[in-house]
Structure 1
Amino acid sequence: MKTNKRKIINDPVFGFITIQSEFIYDLIEHPYLQRLRRIKQLGLSNIVFPGVNHTRFEHAVGAYYLMQLAISSLQMKKVNITEEEAEAVSCAILLHDIGHGPFSHALEHSLVDGISHEMISLLMMEELNRQFGGRLDLAIRIFKNEYEKRFLHQLVASQLDMDRLDYLRRDSFFSGVTEGVIGSDRIIKMLNVRNDSLVVEYKGIYSIEKFLIARRLMYWQVYLHKTVLSAEHMLVKVLQRAKELVMGGHDLFATPGLKVFLEKRVTIDCFVNQSVDEKKNLLELFVELDDSDLISAMKQWQNHEDKILAYLAGAVINRKLFRIKVKNSPFAPGKIEKIKSQIQQRWGVADDELDYFLIHDSITNSVYASEGDKINILMKSGKVKEINEASDINLSTLSHMVRKYFVCYPKELDIN
């Protein structure tokens, strides 16, 4: 009996999404994609925004839906996109985040060393391509920006791609932060192509201005919210301590996949060249990891004999987070030394363990990098202008890198 693969998904943000090809359905059904149901889109942000429990899977399907709208709109404007290219670019956007580890960006460089989720996504796409007999060849070329039609890559990864158009709408919807609502439908309908590059027709310029401002507000209100920063940096410290203990010979509770990543320093060469055992290579073990591996481990670690690991794991699990202070300028060295002194007096930790109780770093936010991949406006005259030049409001401040400084430490300390 043949399975009907033309399914409809009821999405809370965009409504009914139709899966338009059997191959796309097979990709969605693959364990690599289904794994994304178990990875939250915004990591620990639900500590602040209780409704933010949506997953990478929902985001992938939403971005796929927007890609269908973009392809249809461009084809109506006589932009040459073949059926093969349409399917390939749809596959590329569907798989663009497939390499995310547990809690998305929070642990991107903790489980693995110097490997971005994009690099792991590509490794997973290449493995899927092998399993599907080369069906993803063109999708991978588009993903890597190696295909002759460069505008197709821009639909997947640029300053105005389907990824951003989905996550702003979706994250705004689930967080309740209405400042992030954008007119994604109108932006897509205003897309066109000139000189093998995406442009936005002049009638859509106000939607682009709103998009840039909304992105700035979402970063400060949601993605870089100070309490979320505290929680996610504490989660990084939990994993750092666990890895230090395991590599030092201590036995910690961990799922088989997680244990491998705690036992060694994992680089890109490990993924390419190393088999962990006869049955599973490192990529297969990475695919086994999701948020539940970390949650179940931390529930056990909060009772561990190592006081640092127990304290940090319990704090994350029970939302007993570090106090965080944010400033526009660096904290004075004397302030940092005062905190260090109080930490050592209270917990008696060694100098090399202070970093587990004191986190000080900086965050940056640059909404629009005008020196790189630009957002271009197609003027009524047919001339193409960069958004800063075309807009009648001053958007140049959105191109500036804003840096803020923060310090996190236990709330038990009485520090003014």
Structure 2
Amino acid sequence: MNKLKIFNDPIYGFITIPNSLIFDLIQHKYFQRLRRITQMGMSYLVYPGAHHTRFHHAIGCVHLMQKAVNILRYKGVTISKEEEEALYIAILLHDIGHGPFSHAMEHSIVNGVSHEQISLLFMERLNEEFNGSLTLAIKMFKGEYERSFMCQLISSQLDIDRADYLKRDSFYTGVAEGNVNSERLITMLTVVDDNLVVEEKGIYSVEKFIIARRFMYWQVYLHKTGLVAEQLLMRVLMRAKELTKLGVKLDASKALLYFLNTDISIEDFTEDTLNIFQELDDYDIVSAMKLWKNHDDYVLSNLCDMIINRELLKIKIKGKVIKGKQLDKHIDVLMAEKNITKQEAEYFVFTGSIHNQAYEAKRQNINILYKTGKIQDIVKASDHLNLEALSKPVTKYYICYPK
């Protein structure tokens, strides 16, 4: 019966669940948590429609993976039933380790533990629960399976993950420049010498895909308002952790308090920690900020107030590194004005950098297959002058300070 369940998705229409194991994984509390994790972090402060979740995205990825499997089989690529199921599991669970507001958590509450590492821990735990039926999927997720093209479908420069999130994020933000034709891209895929390649007639779809990715980074993912909001959120969590260590009592959910009170690195991620982590979502953070904005601590209350009421810091983005003199000037002004210490002022005045590289020519190239059988990297194959420029990394620098 489970196989008959369908989702109605605003992007692709009806999405069918391929089998009962996938259905049971979707039903699991670890996966259901993704309904409470926004896909785009703080971007809703810029684009009011950007409230879609990691749950949406993961289901969309399974739909696209089903299309990819059908297309490749149609083109004569052998994919066994076990491999097919493993591909669906790996793409379904690829983001299961994301913390609240997606990326803010990785840099402030857990010590440099990436969401990929936590995803793997969740998958290993589910593998025990589902009697080893995720073993092959885990191998593919780690990029260790001998059939490279399967690992490339899950993680590469033209993977199912990107094919869904670019289309989905562009839909929910209303930024039309990011809209890619995922279905056409997938239809153009084939396999040569165990590697994923794109047929020659799909070259323009790939160009559009790379350019759309660049637009989405500058216009959406690295938008200055979203950027400053995410920085403020990271600082809220850092300040909360700092105060907790000093013995200041903060009101928050049990799960959030655990991570504020405990230094967690990847070695400390026991099964108990994982179960507490799965209790943590966007709602814990928002409800904590609503309480903390009335706290006695100047830094914590002001940071929370800025996010809750969208009264953010001023941010300036420049092409060159920001001088320390400029930073010190803003810090001195704030210290004098609010009668706070330098350490407290540094929560409101800071610099950083952002990077955008739409295509990394040195990492798992996107290869074009010509009718003659020749294979060439997209940058060389394309007559689009911008593509070579898009493969060069661009770095910009920002400074944030109170208005």
- On whether the aligned pair clears a TM of 0.5, the verdict is yes
Cα deviation 1:300-358 (Å, max 9, x = unaligned):
00011111101111111111100111111122332212111111111122122222111
Alignment partner of 1:114 is 2:105: no
Alignment of 1:380-399 (within 5 A): 380-394=371-385, 395-399=387-391
Q: 1:250: which partner in 2?
A: 248
**Structure 1: any 5+ residue segments left out of the alignment?**
276-280, 412-416
> Hey, what's the Cα distance between the residues in 1 that align with 2:321 and 2:147?
45
Q: 2:287: which partner in 1?
A: 296
Aligned residue among 214, 217, 220 for 1:219: 217
Bigger mean CA deviation after superposition, 394-403 or 56-65: 394-403
Aligned residue among 346, 351, 364 for 1:373: 364
- What's the secondary structure of 2:47's corresponding residue? coil
> Hey, what's the Cα distance between the residues in 1 that align with 2:343 and 2:185?
51
Could you tell me how far 1:4 is from its partner in structure 2?
A: 4.0
Could you tell me how far 1:262 is from its partner in structure 2?
A: 0.3
Q: 1:278: which partner in 2?
A: none
Aligned residue among 158, 161, 165 for 2:159: 161
**Corresponding letter in the other structure for 1:168:** L
- What's the secondary structure of 1:344's corresponding residue? helix
Alignment of 1:208-287 (within 5 A): 208-272=206-270, 281-287=272-278
Bigger mean CA deviation after superposition, 345-354 or 294-303: 345-354
Does the 8 A contact of 1:242 with 1:262 survive in 2?
Answer: yes
Does the 8 A contact of 2:36 with 2:282 survive in 1?
Answer: yes
TM score, norm. by length of structure 1: 0.95
> Hey, what's the Cα distance between the residues in 1 that align with 2:157 and 2:365?
7
> Hey, what's the Cα distance between the residues in 2 that align with 1:253 and 1:403?
39
* % same residue: 54
> Hey, what's the Cα distance between the residues in 2 that align with 1:238 and 1:127?
31
Taking only aligned residues, the RMSD between alpha carbons, in angstroms, comes to 0.9
Could you tell me how far 1:36 is from its partner in structure 2?
A: 0.2
**Corresponding letter in the other structure for 2:329:** K
Aligned residue among 304, 307, 310 for 1:313: 304
Cα deviation 1:339-395 (Å, max 9, x = unaligned):
111111111221222221112111000111111111000011101111111111221
Cα deviation 1:240-296 (Å, max 9, x = unaligned):
100000011111011111111001221001104xx7xxxxx1000000000000000
Does the 8 A contact of 1:9 with 1:17 survive in 2?
Answer: yes
Does the 8 A contact of 1:6 with 1:25 survive in 2?
Answer: no
Alignment of 1:16-415 (within 5 A): 16-272=14-270, 281-394=272-385, 395-411=387-403
**Corresponding letter in the other structure for 2:147:** K
> Hey, what's the Cα distance between the residues in 1 that align with 2:237 and 2:324?
27
> Hey, what's the Cα distance between the residues in 1 that align with 2:323 and 2:273?
44
> Hey, what's the Cα distance between the residues in 2 that align with 1:109 and 1:156?
25
Structure 2 CA distance for partners of 1:4 and 1:268, relative to 1, 3 Å: closer
Does the 8 A contact of 1:97 with 1:118 survive in 2?
Answer: yes
**Structure 2: any 5+ residue segments left out of the alignment?**
none
Does the 8 A contact of 1:376 with 1:384 survive in 2?
Answer: yes
Bigger mean CA deviation after superposition, 365-374 or 169-178: 365-374
Q: How many residues align?
A: 402
Does the 8 A contact of 2:2 with 2:23 survive in 1?
Answer: no
> Hey, what's the Cα distance between the residues in 1 that align with 2:48 and 2:141?
34
> Hey, what's the Cα distance between the residues in 2 that align with 1:163 and 1:390?
24
